[in-house]
């Protein structure tokens, strides 16, 4: 039983990391889209031909999340066995 | 009929068949329990296949054909909205995560319904789950078949009925004989086709449009709103666009076709890989695919029917045989959604209703015949429905995704992480979710400026917590009695 508590503690921590990432993802996406995109289109600046709000929110946000996810999984995620260890459990 | 376009599509279907037969062979050779093999691929999925099957199941016809069409009309705002789906790439697997996979193994769950029955020790919960899966996913599936047939109709220039027949026959063969393993493997092929197809098409579209600068200039010259985050008519409010974070983002965690995949992988290493691959692939495909829709506008102005944007732009900017390959991508998207829904509905009948309630002592041979048979019969039923879709079915399909999310999200997620959650909480939360979703969608569209799925998800959360707490005393004495 103790072994299982240990695995579930890892799982709980990883679920919290998932929520944290989603919050960062949302704030970045919302902040750049409506922060830079709310002015009149004539005043937009452009990055690589795309409006800056779009580039930062959608392209930049996607790249940021990819890097964050790779980093988080490699550093904080722990390998555990998924099998039922105790045969009593059946 | 354009042979150069049809031939690559035909080869693609052949490849899919081949995978079906191969998977069937491994089911026959396996010594493990038949139902685990057929409906869950023996819990042996690796990281790449898991990521691809998640993405492909979820990135359905609606996002693949409909999405670029709306982006064509609304401009960059719709790409912004579509990017809310990036979160699914990591969120689903991180939240359900290892705990769900471990619990599902302990319970020996083959379906989401199995999991819920064991978690809540309640047949009522299981029955509500099985019935809502059958009703909603059956209608969702039929709607997708219509989409698949329409695509073949447009591309190959053959009548709707023949197109539907070709589509139905190809999906049925590999799902019926190959089960979940065939579904997951073909999803991986289909996902790769989507990945490469959208990339090729995006590059070709940018070149045809004279580069990104020119395209954006043309768009803003036509209507400056097309390059704002508010849509062509400034109708997309931040609250509305943000509410898609719930509908196609985080609440996807409750969809049965998604949770099923979260119990099918073989190890935590596979899951880690799937999180990384999934996030990158979902983001990449969603971004490219919807950008294609926006960028198509200056090149091919005046397309009236949104669903035709994808096929028409492909035929316009690519040589015919490449267009055929690229158009295999939306075809792949539809097939990969339909196949998993078909198998899921079949498992709800065979495992959740027949074996559990009608014939628990059914022999392995009988279960096998039932599984192949029910899957085939369901497929034929959907085919007949799709010939002339009844209004009820179209109506139900509108509710399918949001309805299933509002029904399942809290019983699944809170059931996993909150020990006090009990069957009374689960039952009332499921009923609240489904009823309030239909009522709100029918009578108060977009309450508070948000998509109608948001409030039902909030309501079912509150109800789950309140009812679970309110009945905790009774529940404890009840379970003590049971265990005596």
Q: How confident is the model at residue B163 (pLDDT cuts 50, 70, 90)?
A: confident
CB A56 within 8 A of CB A32: yes
- Return d(Cα B184, Cα B53) in angstroms, integer: 5
- Return d(Cα B365, Cα B247) in angstroms, integer: 41
Burial B13-28 (b: 16+ CB within 10 A, else e): beebbebbeebbebbe
B164 within some domain: yes
Q: Which CATH number is B223's domain given? A: 1.20.1730.10
Pick left, alpha or beta for residue B445 (phi over 0 → left; psi -120 to 50 → alpha; otherwise beta).
beta
**Residues paired with residue B45 on neighbouring β-strands, in sequence order:** B265
Q: Which helix (H) or strand (E) holds B324?
A: helix B320-347
pLDDT of residue B87: 92
pLDDT of residue A2: 45
Stretch B426-430: mean pLDDT: 95
Model pTM?
A: 0.87
Q: Of B250-254, B328-332, B366-370, B480-484, which one has max mean pLDDT?
A: B250-254
Residues 48-77 of B with CB under 8 A from A: 76
- Is B481 a residue whose pLDDT tops 60? no
- Return d(Cα B108, Cα B115) in angstroms, integer: 8
Counting one residue from A and one from B, how many pairs have CB atoms under 8 Å apart? 135
**Residues of chain A neighbouring B91 (CB-CB closer than 8 A):** 18, 21-22
Contact status of B299 with chain A (Cβ, < 8 Å): no
**Largest CA-CA distance found in chain B, in angstroms, rounded:** 76
CB B257 within 8 A of CB B344: yes
Stretch B372-383: mean pLDDT: 88
For B156-159, which contacts have Cβ atoms below 8 Å and span 24 or more sequence positions? Answer: B156/B1, B156/B2, B156/B5, B156/B6, B156/B9, B157/B1, B157/B2, B158/B1
Share of residues in chain B with pLDDT > 90 (%): 33
**Residues of chain B neighbouring A33 (CB-CB closer than 8 A):** 80, 229
Cβ <8 Å between A50 and B212: yes
A21 within some domain: yes
pLDDT of residue A90: 36
Residue B154's domain comprises 3-389
A84 within some domain: no
Contact status of B268 with chain A (Cβ, < 8 Å): yes
**Residues of chain A neighbouring B40 (CB-CB closer than 8 A):** none
pLDDT of residue B410: 95
CB A74 within 8 A of CB B273: no
A34 within some domain: yes
- Is B224 a residue whose pLDDT tops 90? yes
**Residues paired with residue A47 on neighbouring β-strands, in sequence order:** A50
Number of domains into which chain B is organized: 1
A83 within some domain: no
Would you give the end-to-end CA distance of chain A in angstroms? Answer: 14
Q: How confident is the model at residue B393 (pLDDT cuts 50, 70, 90)?
A: low
Cβ <8 Å between A11 and B220: no
Among candidates B199, B230, B210, which has minimal Cα distance to B76? B230
**Which of A1, A4, A18 is the best mutation test for B, with the most CBs of B within 10 A?**
A18
Mean of the per-residue pLDDT values of chain B = 85
Q: How confident is the model at residue B1 (pLDDT cuts 50, 70, 90)?
A: low
Q: Find the DSSP H helices in B30-66.
A: 34-40, 47-58, 61
pLDDT of residue B476: 58
Reading the block at residue A60, the tokens are 């930049």
Contact status of A57 with chain B (Cβ, < 8 Å): yes
Residues 232-251 of B with CB under 8 A from A: 238, 242, 245, 249-250
pLDDT of residue B193: 84
- Return d(Cα B235, Cα B232) in angstroms, integer: 7
Among candidates B318, B477, B345, B327, which has minimal Cα distance to B404? B345
- Is B475 a residue whose pLDDT tops 80? no
Stretch B409-437: mean pLDDT: 93
Neighbours of B473 (CB within 10 A): 9
Higher pLDDT residue, A90 or B273? B273
- Is B388 a residue whose pLDDT tops 90? no
Q: Write the ipTM.
A: 0.90
Low-confidence stretches of chain A (pLDDT < 70) are 1-5, 85-90
Query: Where do the DSSP E strands lie in B308-446?
Result: none
Burial B138-166 (b: 16+ CB within 10 A, else e): bbbbbbbbbbbbbbbbbbbebeeeebbbb
Pick left, alpha or beta for residue B211 (phi over 0 → left; psi -120 to 50 → alpha; otherwise beta).
left
- Return d(Cα B258, Cα B253) in angstroms, integer: 7
Higher pLDDT residue, A1 or B283? B283
Higher pLDDT residue, B483 or B398? B398
pLDDT of residue A51: 95
Higher pLDDT residue, B330 or B107? B107
pLDDT of residue B324: 81
Who among A8, A61, A73 is closest to B275 (CB)?
A73
Residue labelled with tokens 């905790």: B472
Residues 388-447 of B with CB under 8 A from A: 417
- Return d(Cα A47, Cα A55) in angstroms, integer: 7
Higher pLDDT residue, B243 or B479? B243
Number of domains into which chain A is organized: 1
- Return d(Cα B431, Cα B142) in angstroms, integer: 24
Least confident range from B54-58, B264-268, B462-466: namely: B54-58
- Return d(Cα B480, Cα B476) in angstroms, integer: 6
pLDDT in tens, B47-93: 898 888 888 777 654 565 568 888 999 999 999 999 998 999 899 99
pLDDT of residue B438: 85
- Return d(Cα B255, Cα B469) in angstroms, integer: 25
Least confident range from B74-83, B402-411, B473-482: namely: B473-482
DSSP 3-state of A47? strand
B469 within some domain: no
Share of residues in chain B with pLDDT > 70 (%): 94
Query: Where do the DSSP E strands lie in B148-238?
Result: none
- Return d(Cα B225, Cα B228) in angstroms, integer: 5
Stretch B288-303: mean pLDDT: 92
**Residues of chain A neighbouring B234 (CB-CB closer than 8 A):** none
Contact status of A46 with chain B (Cβ, < 8 Å): yes
Among candidates B432, B420, B425, which has minimal Cα distance to B460? B432
Among candidates B45, B72, B70, which has minimal Cα distance to B57? B45
pLDDT of residue B137: 84
A31 within some domain: yes
Residue A32's domain comprises 2-77
pLDDT in tens, B143-155: 777 777 777 777 7
Query: Where do the DSSP E strands lie in B223-382?
Result: none
């Amino acid at each position: 039983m103790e072994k299982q508590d240990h695995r579930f503690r890892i799982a709980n921590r990883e679920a919290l990391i998932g929520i944290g990432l989603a919050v960062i993802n949302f704030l970045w996406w919302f902040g750049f889209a409506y922060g830079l995109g709310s002015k009149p289109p004539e005043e937009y600046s452009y990055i690589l031909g795309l409006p800056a709000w779009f580039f930062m929110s959608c392209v930049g946000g996607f790249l940021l999340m990819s890097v964050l996810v790779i980093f988080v999984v490699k550093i904080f995620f722990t390998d555990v066995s998924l099998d039922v260890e105790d045969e009593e459990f059946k | 009929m354009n042979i150069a376009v049809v031939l690559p599509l035909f080869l693609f279907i052949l490849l899919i068949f081949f995978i079906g037969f191969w998977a069937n062979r491994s089911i026959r050779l396996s010594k493990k329990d038949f139902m685990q093999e057929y409906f869950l691929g023996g819990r042996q999925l690796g990281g790449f296949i898991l990521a691809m099957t998640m993405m492909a199941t979820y990135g359905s016809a609606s996002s693949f054909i409909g999405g670029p069409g709306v982006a064509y009309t609304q401009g960059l705002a719709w790409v912004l909205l579509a990017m809310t789906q990036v979160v699914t790439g990591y969120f689903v697997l991180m939240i359900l995560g290892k705990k769900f996979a471990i619990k599902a193994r302990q319970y020996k769950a083959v379906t989401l319904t199995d999991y819920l029955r064991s978690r809540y020790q309640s047949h009522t919960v299981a029955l509500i789950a099985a019935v809502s899966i059958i009703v909603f996913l059956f209608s969702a599936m039929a709607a997708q078949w219509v989409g698949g047939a329409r695509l073949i109709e447009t591309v190959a220039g053959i009548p709707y009925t023949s197109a539907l027949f070709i589509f139905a026959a190809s999906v049925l063969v590999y799902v019926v004989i190959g089960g979940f393993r065939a579904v997951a493997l073909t999803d991986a092929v289909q996902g790769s086709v989507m990945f490469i197809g959208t990339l090729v098409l995006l590059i070709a579209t940018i070149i045809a449009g004279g580069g990104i600068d020119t395209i954006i200039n043309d768009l803003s010259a036509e209507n400056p709103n097309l390059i704002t985050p508010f849509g062509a008519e400034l109708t997309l409010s931040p609250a509305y666009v943000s509410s898609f974070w719930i509908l196609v983002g985080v609440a996807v965690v409750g969809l049965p076709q998604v949770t099923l995949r979260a119990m099918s992988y073989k190890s935590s290493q596979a899951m880690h890989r799937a999180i990384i691959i999934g996030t990158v692939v979902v983001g990449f495909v969603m971004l490219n695919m919807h950008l294609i829709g926006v960028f198509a506008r200056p090149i091919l102005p005046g397309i009236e029917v949104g669903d035709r944007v994808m096929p028409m732009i492909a035929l316009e900017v690519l040589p015919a045989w490449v267009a055929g390959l690229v158009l295999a991508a939306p075809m792949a998207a539809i097939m990969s959604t339909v196949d998993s829904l078909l198998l899921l509905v079949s498992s709800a009948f065979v495992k959740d209703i027949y074996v559990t309630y009608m014939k628990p002592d059914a022999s392995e041979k009988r279960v096998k015949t039932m599984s192949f048979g029910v899957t085939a019969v369901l497929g034929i039923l959907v085919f007949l429905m799709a010939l002339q879709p009844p209004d009820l079915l179209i109506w139900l399909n509108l509710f399918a995704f949001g309805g299933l999310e509002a029904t399942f999200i809290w019983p699944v997620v809170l059931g996993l992480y909150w020990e006090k959650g009990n069957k009374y909480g689960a039952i009332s939360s499921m009923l609240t979710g489904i009823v309030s979703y239909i009522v709100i969608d029918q009578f108060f569209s977009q309450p508070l400026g948000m998509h109608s799925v948001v409030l039902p998800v909030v309501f079912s959360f509150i109800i789950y917590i309140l009812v679970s707490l309110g009945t905790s005393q009774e529940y404890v004495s009840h379970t003590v009695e049971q265990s005596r």
